[in-house]
A and B are shown apart, each in its own frame.
Chain A
Amino acid sequence: MEHIAWMAWTLPTAIFFVMLALTLGVMTWLAVAWPEAERIGVLRIPTTRGDRLFISLVLAAVIHLLWIAFAGTDPIATLPIGEGVELSSLWLATVISLLSAVAIFRSV
C-alpha cells in the first residue's frame, strides 16, 4: 500500500469509484450484448444510453452541490448501528439524483 499512499485513498471515495467503475462496466457489457440505436427525447438531441448516463452523472454532481449550498448537510436521522450512525441530509440529494437518473433514462 506504500506506493499508493500519495493518492490518499479513503473507504468512502474508494466505494464511490468502485461503483462508478461497475456502472461503466455494466454499460459496456450492455452496449456489446444489446447494441442500441440513438433516439431523440425531450431535449431534442439524439442520445444513446451512454449519453444518458453522462447527463445523469453530471446532473447528480450539480444536485449534490446545490444541496450542499442551499440545504446544508445537517443530520436527519440516526441509524441504530453501533453507537448510532448519523445520516446526513445529503442522502436526500442522492435520492433525488437517482430519481432524476431514472427520469433521464426514460425520457431524454
Chain B
Amino acid sequence: MDKTVNQRAWFLVLPVFLVVAFSAILPLMTVVNYSMQDTFGNNQFFWNGVGWFKELLDPSTDLGGRFLASLGRNLLFSAIILAIEVPLGIVVALSMPRQGWTVAACLVILALPLLIPWNVVGTIWQIFGRPDIGLLGYTLNGLGMDYNYVSNEFDAWATVVVMDVWHWTSLVALLCYAGLKSIPDAYYQAAQIDGASRWAVFKAIQLPKMNRVLLIAVLLRFMDSFMIYTEPFVVTGGGPGNSTTFVSIELVKIALGQFDLGKAAALSLVYNLIILIVCWIFYTVMTNAGAERPVKQGAA
C-alpha cells in the first residue's frame, strides 16, 4: 500500500480519555452492571443474567411491549419530521436572498427558533395549542375543527410534529444555505449559457453541491429526533394514553418513575446500540461520500 499510518499520536489523547472515563465510561460500565441485576434499593443487587434483555425483546411482556411500541413510534416520528424538514429546509434555503441587508435579517430570523431552549419551545406550543386560551387551539376550534391535543391522538401527533418542524427546519435551511453559498458563480454562468432551466440548475448544480451538508443535516435531525424527550414531554407528557411516548420518555418512566434500574439499563443499552449503529453508518457514508478513490482489493 502507498502509506503507513503512525499511530503514536494517539497517546496525546490520553488526558481527554481520562476525563471521558469519569464522565462517560465508568457510568456506562455501571449501566452494564445494572442491566444484569435486579435491585430493591440500598445498594443490594441480585444477579439476573440476561433476564431483562429477554423481557425487553419479547413483545408479549410489559417491558418488551412498551419498548417496541415506543421504538416504533420514535422511528415513525423521525421519518415524518425528516420527510418534512429536509425538503422544506432546501426550499427555504433556495428562496433566501444571496446579497444585501436582507441576508442578515433572514439569518437572524431563521436562527431564532434554534436559540430557544427545548423546554421553553414545549411550553410555548403547549399554551399556543390550548383550545381555551391558546391562539392556535382557539382559532382552529373557532374554524369548526375539533382540535384538542390533550384528548385526540392525531392532534397530539400533529402538534408535536409541527412543533419540531418549527423548531428545527431552520437548522436544515441554514446548513443548505451554507452549501449553496459555496457554489462559485461560474457554475451558474455556465448553466445560463447552456440555457439550463431552473429545475436543471437545481438538479445538476445545487443538489450535488449540497450533498454533504444535507447528509450532516439528516444525521443531526435523525439523532435529535430519535433522542427527543423534552418537547413532547412538556406538551403532551407522552399522551393521550401512550400515543406520543417516545423511547426516551419510556426510559425515564422506567428508570426514575418506577426505579427499575435493571430494566432501564437493558433498555438504554439497546437504545444506545441502535444510535451507535446509525451514527456509524451515517459517519461512514459521510466521510466516504465524494471521496473518489481507486478501489483496491485485499492487501492488509
Hey, which bits of chain A sit against chain B, CB under 8 A? 5-10, 12-13, 16-17, 28, 31-32, 35-41, 44-46, 48, 54, 58, 61-62, 65, 68-69, 72-73, 88, 90
Kindly state the separation between the CA atoms of A61 and B53 in the bound complex, as whole angstroms.
12
- Interface magnitude class on chain B: 35 or more
Question: Is the CB–CB distance between A17 and B1 below 8 Å?
Answer: no
Assess the A7–B7 pair: CB atoms within 8 A.
no
Q: How far is the CA of A38 from the CA of B5 in the complex (A)?
A: 8
Given A6-B30, A8-B45, A17-B29, A37 contacting B5 (CB threshold 8 A): yes
Question: Which of these, A7, A32, A58, contacts B280 with CB under 8 Å?
Answer: A58
Residues of B within 8 A of A (CB): 1-8, 10, 26, 29-30, 32-34, 36-37, 39, 43, 45, 47, 49-50, 53-54, 57-58, 270, 273, 276-277, 280, 284, 288, 293, 295-300
Contacts A8-B45, A38-B5 given; indicate if A13 touches B295 (C-beta within 8 A). Answer: no
Cβ–Cβ contact B6 & A39, under 8 A: no
Taking A46-B293, A68-B50 as given, write out 8 further A-B residue pairs in contact, using a Cβ cutoff of 8 Å, ordered by the A residue number.
A7-B26, A8-B33, A8-B45, A28-B10, A37-B1, A38-B1, A69-B57, A73-B50
Given the complex, which residues of B lie within 8 Å of A44, measured CB to CB? Answer: 295
What is the distance, in angstroms, from A18's C-beta to the closest C-beta of chain B?
11
Known contacts A12-B36, A68-B54; decide if A5 and B43 are in contact (CB<8 Å): yes
Q: Complex Cα distance A23/B49, Å?
A: 23
Given contacts A37-B1, A62-B273, A65-B57, contact A31 B7 (CB under 8 A): yes
**Contact (Cβ within 8 A) A69 B7:** no
Q: With a CB–CB cut-off of 8 A, which chain A residues contact B47?
A: 10
Which chain A positions have C-beta within 8 A of B3? 37
Cβ distance B297 to chain A, nearest Cβ, rounded Å:
7
Could you write out 9 A-B pairs with CB less than 8 Å apart?
A8-B33, A8-B37, A8-B43, A9-B33, A38-B1, A38-B5, A40-B297, A46-B288, A72-B54
- Can you list the 3 inter-chain pairs with the closest CB atoms, starting with the nearest? A37-B1, A69-B57, A31-B7
Residue among B32, B34, B54, B299 making CB contact with A39, cutoff 8 Å: B299
Closest residue on chain B to residue A105 by CB atoms: B300
Question: Which of A12, A35, A37, A68 is B53 in contact with, Cβ under 8 Å?
Answer: A68
- Across chains A and B, the number of contacting residue pairs, with CB separation under 8 Å, is 89
With A and B bound together, what is the CA distance between A68 and B64 in angstroms? Answer: 12
Task: State whether B270 touches A65 (Cβ < 8 A).
Answer: yes
Bound form: Cα–Cα A7–B57 in Å? 25
Please, how many angstroms separate the alpha-carbon atoms of A48 and B6 in the complex? Answer: 12
B269: nearest chain-A partner, CB-CB: A61
B2 contacts which chain A residues (CB < 8 A)?
Answer: 37
Residues of B close to A73: CB separation below 8 A: 49-50, 54
Shortest Cβ distance from B266 into chain A, in angstroms? 10
Which of A16, A38, A48 counts the most B-chain CB atoms under 10 A from its CB? A38
- Kindly list chain B residues whose C-beta atoms are within 8 Å of the C-beta of A7: 26, 29-30, 33
- Is the beta-carbon distance between A35 and B33 smaller than 8 angstroms? no
Q: B33, A40: Cβ atoms under 8 Å?
A: no
- Give B59's nearest chain A residue, CB to CB: A69
A32–B11 alpha-carbon span in the complex (Å): 10
| Cα separation A17 to B33 with both chains bound (whole Å) | 10
Which residues of the partner chain B approach A88 to less than 8 Å between Cβ atoms? 49
Bound complex: CA of A87 vs CA of B151, how far in Å? 51
